Amino acid sequence: MMRIGLFLLTNLAILVVGGIVLNLLGFSGILDETGTQLNIQGLLMLAAVFGMGGSLISLLISKPMAKFAAKVQVIEQPSTDAERWLLDTVRELAHRAGVGMPDVGVFPSSQSNAFATGWNKNKALVAVSRGLLERFSADEARAVLAHEVGHVANGDMITLSLIQGVVNTFVIFISRLIGFFVDKVIFKNERGLGPGYFITSIVMDIVLGILAMAIVAWFSRFREFRADDAGARLADRRSMINALRRLKAETELPDEMPESLSTFGINKGKRGGFKAMFATHPPLDERIQALERSTHA
């Protein structure tokens, strides 16, 4: 479940770089025929193309980028009993969830962690750490895998990319509105687009892009509860609760994941204050309590 971090960071980079390229090229298609006023319709179309485009690119490259960042070794032919069990378990869970068999891989981390990613629910990737395979019981590991398959079946990456695309559109649109205002009102530029527009729009792309990440992170936290529930249904509720408790017990271990992925792993959720706005996973205590409430309901 570390997929969201890399997705968000890649999307922000594409958003900012795209804005810089447009500005360096001196793109002025957002102006009307007089060259003095904004063409709101043209600006909105530009924002939608680049906003949705950045999100879709992030989605399409999420699987290879995650493989590279986490050093995932995809299992083509199982060489150990653990790898054979892993393939068989994911195949069974995918069949129960009604999705195609995903690629299955293992990444070299002693910390217990797992993630799923991919643009297509029938061509996804599910990966687990060596540490999880070594220390979790079969039931606990199966519950974690069920959680990840639940993400795939729920189409979470596709849904998040659409939400990110809409948010991106507003970021680009509002950034350029502010840039135009600064250029005309503060810098008194009477025709065309001046330095005030270009500098301000780039700065606002970054600032609003970070705020957009907080919005998508909030939605991601909501989807984690759904994935926990899916894991409880595909495996069993008690095993899902036990797996989350085991993950909580291991949160003090050194984090060996790449920075772009580690803060979004399945065993995260201890952030507080300002950082909590950008946490893509709820605290583990809240997730455990949600499953226990549904058990007694």
Residue 107 CA to residue 71 CA, distance in Å, equals 6
Say whether 134 is catalytic. no
Catalytic residue among 83, 134, 148, 292: 148
Contact call for residues 50 and 18 (beta carbons, < 8 A): yes
Residue 73 CA to residue 86 CA, distance in Å, equals 13
Q: For residue 178, which phi and psi values (nearest 5 degrees)?
A: -65, -45
Write out the DSSP string of 91-153: HHHHHHHT-PPPEEEEE--SS--EEEE-SSTTS-EEEEEHHHHHHS-HHHHHHHHHHHHHHHH
Name the helix (H) or strand (E) containing 41.
helix 40-60
Which residues are marked as active site?
Answer: 148
